Amino acid sequence: MNPSLRLCLLVFAFVFFSASAVPTLAQVKPARDPNQQIDQEYTNKIREYTTAPYFNSPLTDYLPASPNVPTPKAVLGDVAGAPGKLPYAEDVYKYMRMLERATPRVKVYSIGTTEEGREMIAVAVASERLLERLEENRARLLKLADPRTINMDDNEADRLVADSFPIYYITGTIHSPETGSPTALMELAYRLAVDDSAYVKSIRDSVVTLITPVVEVDGRNRMVDVYNWHLANPNSNWPSLVYWGHYVAHDNNRDAIGLSLKLTRNVLNTYLHWKPLVLHDLHESVPYLYDNTIGDGPYNAWVDPILTDEWQMIGWHNVSEMTKFGMPGVFAHGDFDTWSPGYLMFMAATHNGISRLYETFGNGGADTLERTLSPGEYERTWYRQNPPLPKAKWSQRNNNNYQQTALLVSLQHFGANSKLFLKNFYLKSKRSIDKPKSEGPAAYVLPGDELRTANQAELLRTLQAQGVEISKATAPFTVQVRKRAGAPAASPSPSPGASPSASPARRGNTEDRTFPAGSYIVRMDQPYSRIADALLDYQYWAPNDPQTAIYDDTAWTMGELANVEVVRVVDTKVLQAPMDRITGEVRSTGNILNSGNVYLVNHNADNALITFRYRLKDAEMEAAEEPFDAAGRKFNRGSFIIRRAPEAELRKVANELGIQVYAVDGAPTVKTHPVRAPRVAIMHTWMTTQDEGWYRVGFDQLQVPFTYISTQDLAKESNLKSKYDVIVFGPVGRNSLAIINGAPMFGNAIPWKKTSLTPNLGGIDETDDMRPGMGWDGLQNLIKFVKDGGLFITVDDTSEFAVQLGMTAGVTASRSSRLRAVGDILRTKTVDAASPIMYGYGDSLAMYCSNGPIFGVNNGVGGGRRGPQQRATGRGTPDDPDTPQGRPPAELPEPPPRVDPWQAPPVTDENRRNAVGLIPPALRPRVVLRYADSRELFVSGLLDGGDEIAQRPAVIDAPTGNGHVLLFSTNPFWRGQTKGSYMLVFNAIMNWDNLNAGRKLDPK
Ligand SMILES: [Zn+2]
């Protein structure tokens, strides 16, 4: 730009902006205030620890000095991002509270605790003026967030926008091995409070920056322990972070659907309380800064296009400004698809805010390292015109520079455009309320005659936690719904798992349906309709979608995964149904009806039943092996018959859990067996605990007690059956040999235990050496456990383990070659309704599947499955017999009976002649659940090549010795979302010593 033109523009800008009184924030230059002193010593250290000048910016290459506000050095003993310095969460908090005491521009809020009782905080930083007005501003933001409160009046909204200032919420280190953001956020808070440069001042005066410096607090402290161990043992291999939080590892950032973790709830509650316009989550895995605010397609189908435009605007601006600073490797777009709403940041996207996420470059600790990138990381592409360097010395300080610079650029841009974003926030909220009359649907209805009332209530409580309003019909109402495929129009009530009312109604494709009083209605004319719509609707990911690097699950349809009926209603008449808005949490009602000396509980596959069993541990309960009638109603197979139980306690538990108990005089005459509260162990490896963590979440939520053991413990205990009745072994993400061998035994022992150096390790489980696996002795003990009568429950790859190690005669497991079932929902069909595992279920169940193993069953050991018989080459048409020439045609034997893919081929006389390898009938695998046929298999998400798994067994009960191995191809416990399939596991547990009940044995 030539000087005279620049002058022209300056004059124009002056005239224009002084006339309109709009602040010229967008023009503020990123540079320090020459009149403010800098902290020279701190600044020198920043420069020393930054490995090249272009890895810093004019915003962070100095630190302003303050006479009374301490710098991060007060706690760290060095500057933020210094080599060798990784603070515990408590140290980060200590510093934030020092800031709070030193300046009125910082306030610290406690926002809850973690599973292990550690505190989470949010730190607000802004000018005194803004912080003094936080509450009155919040009152305005609440109105903008719920335009019903101002009668959807755009003029009133404009007045509120004019008076309001936005809140920008930044969250750090949810992923514990991504270690840089706590120190970056400490220094950022200092800069925002102290720096008098026009640039930073403009942020402070226009935006409240809200910071949760550590999201995964339990994992952070463990990570610091591991790093400190590494510093103390510089020549040793150090432990991998086998535990992050108490339950799960990276999946703590996939919990915004199930809301199982406290960190998710705490951040969500903070978000819902403060109404920030942005939730910006910091990660470290990509060089040097990938702003995946923009991401790639397919975008989540339920967010407002206003939001997706905001992503583009904010993300590209960020890249552009940092490119001007000369910082290499800053880019947006990338290949992260923005489909799943399960990420922490996405809580903003689904609540009318803006979700953002950075991936910066971390070293997994505070060591300065020479980092060599792969071509895929350093090559130039259209969206990465200034790519990272192929090779560079990289420090934690570099990472802190990138994080802070990018955040300051974002905050400044946001502050300069705060009125635009506030108005957009209002518009998105308003358009969410307008949903029924624009894109629809009008509501989702959860019928009042739901079979699984406790699971239904649990699903609705999860929606309530998202801020969704729930109403309850006070009288029956009739609306048009999509016709149920395969069901006659007059069918009064669908069987569970009937085809979904998923798509918008097409003309002629609808029918009237009357819902009873007590039905729950999730109205879509509410500000948070979007999250309810996204969670309750069905997903469709086209097999030919150009996005092939699918980032996460493609489906999450909550009703299907909860085994609860949810009806999408487009007909706006539903909004006129007589209903009351529910205040308080949705609860299913439970009590004792009638009187008598025997109590009956219908088995409806509600998860509350397992809690009921364990809560009333000493009560004698039996399961009915057949359905029966009593107390004027039908009871399903598996229903509980309780002959002796303390009534007061029974009533109390039934009431708390929402379980209906029927008292009768005398037990019904039906075959029964005991339902027990057995001793359960959940087993983990020392290589990864990510997926089994979701099992612990589910068991703990439902108060199912368990002992937590590792594969290493198996080798130490030759009589496992004396300690446990059931061992649950969730997916491990490793092959069978790795489960046995563990990690290679090269180098030093790797401890995971609580010591004075590592006070946060251990606690969940501990070992002197993480490397050994189960070992062959452990395997022997495990096999003996099953032979002795134990139940071993396996899932996905641990099912393959059980098959490959010979624990399951007659079961085969292989991996698919064409199937693409990428975290989707598939339909399964009941094969053996008399198996206790299927108690309470209907003839069909939707289950989460992620390319699970493809099972087959045989009645013999060693025989492979033959494909369908086709005729051999010869004379005639395809269905003709061939004819040998020169002799009369021989009589052909009866063709073998047709066998479905989930069945074992029947035993022939040839097999029995010398029956080596023929499995006795009582020990043959029993298929209880199978995948549906290709036509019915798809429920939600991406399914390609489904014929490969269609009709194959999904759940197999394999008797072994006196015990059983239960094998899942699907995953019944996933991210707190699959509550509808939990009971398959719980049924197996409660009936562990009677799993053969109802079994029909082959005659030979
Ligand atoms: Zn991450």
Residue 854 CA to ligand 1 centre (angstroms)? 32
Write the CB contacts of 45 (distance below 8 Å, at least 6 apart in sequence): 78, 79, 82
The burial of 945, by beta-carbon neighbours within 10 Å (0-12 exposed, 13-18 middle, 19 or more buried), is given as middle
Residue 559 CA to ligand 1 centre (angstroms)? 29
Residue 977 CA to ligand 1 centre (angstroms)? 21
pLDDT (tens digit, 9 = 90+) per residue, 282-320? 999 999 999 998 999 999 999 999 999 999 999 999 999
Residue 860 CA to ligand 1 centre (angstroms)? 48
Residue 798 CA to ligand 1 centre (angstroms)? 27
Residue 287 CA to ligand 1 centre (angstroms)? 13
CA 258 to CA 279: how far, in whole Å?
19
Nearby residues for ligand 1 (ion, Cβ within 5 Å):
175, 178, 283
Residue 115 CA to ligand 1 centre (angstroms)? 20
CA 730 to CA 726: how far, in whole Å?
13
Our CA dihedral for 705, 708, 711, 716, rounded to 10 degrees, sits at -100
As a whole number, mean pLDDT of residues 782-800 equals 98
pLDDT (tens digit, 9 = 90+) per residue, 715-759? 999 999 999 999 999 999 999 999 999 999 999 999 999 999 999
Residue 270 CA to ligand 1 centre (angstroms)? 21
Give the pLDDT of residue 718: 96
Residue 265 CA to ligand 1 centre (angstroms)? 19
Give the pLDDT of residue 659: 97
User: Out of 196-200, 495-499, 729-733, which region has the weakest mean confidence (pLDDT)?
Assistant: 495-499
Residue 344 CA to ligand 1 centre (angstroms)? 11
CA 100 to CA 69: how far, in whole Å?
9
CA 193 to CA 200: how far, in whole Å?
9
pLDDT (tens digit, 9 = 90+) per residue, 582-616? 999 999 999 999 999 999 999 999 999 999 999 99
As a whole-number percent, the residues of the chain with pLDDT over 90 amount to 90
Position 865 confidence tier, pLDDT thresholds 50, 70, 90: low
Residue 283 CA to ligand 1 centre (angstroms)? 4
pLDDT (tens digit, 9 = 90+) per residue, 502-559? 444 456 799 999 999 999 999 999 999 999 999 999 999 999 999 999 999 999 999 9
Give the pLDDT of residue 500: 45
Q: Are strands 661-664 and 592-593 parallel, antiparallel or unpaired?
A: parallel
Residue 284 CA to ligand 1 centre (angstroms)? 6
Alpha carbon 881 to chain centroid, angstroms: 56
Residue 251 CA to ligand 1 centre (angstroms)? 10
Our CA dihedral for 782, 787, 790, 793, rounded to 10 degrees, sits at 60
> Model pTM?
0.94
DSSP SS3 for 347: helix
CA 725 to CA 682: how far, in whole Å?
11
Write the CB contacts of 990 (distance below 8 Å, at least 6 apart in sequence): 609, 610, 613, 623, 675, 676, 677, 678, 836
Place of tokens 């446990």: 724
CA 269 to CA 36: how far, in whole Å?
39
Residue 63 CA to ligand 1 centre (angstroms)? 28
Residue 786 CA to ligand 1 centre (angstroms)? 40
pLDDT (tens digit, 9 = 90+) per residue, 688-710? 999 999 999 999 999 999 999 99
Residue 255 CA to ligand 1 centre (angstroms)? 13
pLDDT (tens digit, 9 = 90+) per residue, 240-252? 999 999 999 999 9
Residue 286 CA to ligand 1 centre (angstroms)? 9
Q: Which amino acid is at 355?
A: S
As a whole-number percent, the residues of the chain with pLDDT over 70 amount to 94
User: CB 507: neighbour CB atoms within 10 A?
Assistant: 5
pLDDT over 90 at 55, yes or no: yes
Residue 519 CA to ligand 1 centre (angstroms)? 41
Residue 131 CA to ligand 1 centre (angstroms)? 31
DSSP SS3 for 722: helix
Residue 179 CA to ligand 1 centre (angstroms)? 10
Alpha carbon 1004 to chain centroid, angstroms: 46
pLDDT (tens digit, 9 = 90+) per residue, 402-421? 999 999 999 999 999 999 99
Helices (H), 717-764: 736-741
Mean per-residue pLDDT over the chain, rounded:
94
Between the alpha carbon of residue 403 and those of residues 176, 282, 416, the distances in Å are: 16, 8, 20
pLDDT over 60 at 866, yes or no: no
Residue 249 CA to ligand 1 centre (angstroms)? 10
Residue 358 CA to ligand 1 centre (angstroms)? 9
CA 62 to CA 479: how far, in whole Å?
65
Residue 396 CA to ligand 1 centre (angstroms)? 16
pLDDT over 90 at 328, yes or no: yes
Q: CA geometry: angle at 795 spanning 789 and 800, to 5°?
A: 85
CA 342 to CA 466: how far, in whole Å?
12
Q: Are 410 and 318 in contact (CB under 8 A)?
A: yes
CA 674 to CA 666: how far, in whole Å?
17
Residue 175 CA to ligand 1 centre (angstroms)? 5
Between the alpha carbon of residue 22 and those of residues 16, 30, 141, 418, 773, the distances in Å are: 9, 19, 21, 12, 66
Residue 170 CA to ligand 1 centre (angstroms)? 14
The burial of 592, by beta-carbon neighbours within 10 Å (0-12 exposed, 13-18 middle, 19 or more buried), is given as middle
Residue 551 CA to ligand 1 centre (angstroms)? 13
Q: Are 762 and 753 in contact (CB under 8 A)?
A: yes
pLDDT over 70 at 825, yes or no: yes
Residue 853 CA to ligand 1 centre (angstroms)? 28
- For residue 926, the cross-strand partners are 957
First to last CA, the chain: 92
CA 157 to CA 142: how far, in whole Å?
11
Q: CA geometry: angle at 770 spanning 766 and 774, to 5°?
A: 95
pLDDT over 80 at 862, yes or no: no
CA 793 to CA 786: how far, in whole Å?
10
Residue 178 CA to ligand 1 centre (angstroms)? 6
Q: Are 49 and 19 in contact (CB under 8 A)?
A: no
Residue 355 CA to ligand 1 centre (angstroms)? 15
Residue 135 CA to ligand 1 centre (angstroms)? 33
Give the pLDDT of residue 886: 93
Residue 128 CA to ligand 1 centre (angstroms)? 34
Residue 690 CA to ligand 1 centre (angstroms)? 14
Residue 342 CA to ligand 1 centre (angstroms)? 13
pLDDT over 90 at 912, yes or no: no
Q: Are strands 661-664 and 598-601 parallel, antiparallel or unpaired?
A: antiparallel
Residue 214 CA to ligand 1 centre (angstroms)? 13
pLDDT over 90 at 363, yes or no: yes
- Closest to 853 (Cα-Cα) out of 955, 986, 984: 955
pLDDT over 90 at 75, yes or no: yes
Write the CB contacts of 895 (distance below 8 Å, at least 6 apart in sequence): 869
Q: CA geometry: angle at 777 spanning 774 and 783, to 5°?
A: 85
Give the pLDDT of residue 911: 84
pLDDT (tens digit, 9 = 90+) per residue, 760-775? 999 999 999 999 999 9
As a whole number, mean pLDDT of residues 438-464 equals 98
Between the alpha carbon of residue 652 and those of residues 8, 48, 610, 642, 655, the distances in Å are: 80, 66, 16, 15, 5
CA 191 to CA 664: how far, in whole Å?
72
For the record, the structure tokens of 461 come out as 């409580």
Residue 276 CA to ligand 1 centre (angstroms)? 22
Residue 680 CA to ligand 1 centre (angstroms)? 33
Residue 723 CA to ligand 1 centre (angstroms)? 39
Residue 263 CA to ligand 1 centre (angstroms)? 15
Residues comprising the chain, all counted? 1004
Residue 364 CA to ligand 1 centre (angstroms)? 11
Residue 174 CA to ligand 1 centre (angstroms)? 7
pLDDT over 70 at 47, yes or no: yes
Q: Are 414 and 421 in contact (CB under 8 A)?
A: yes
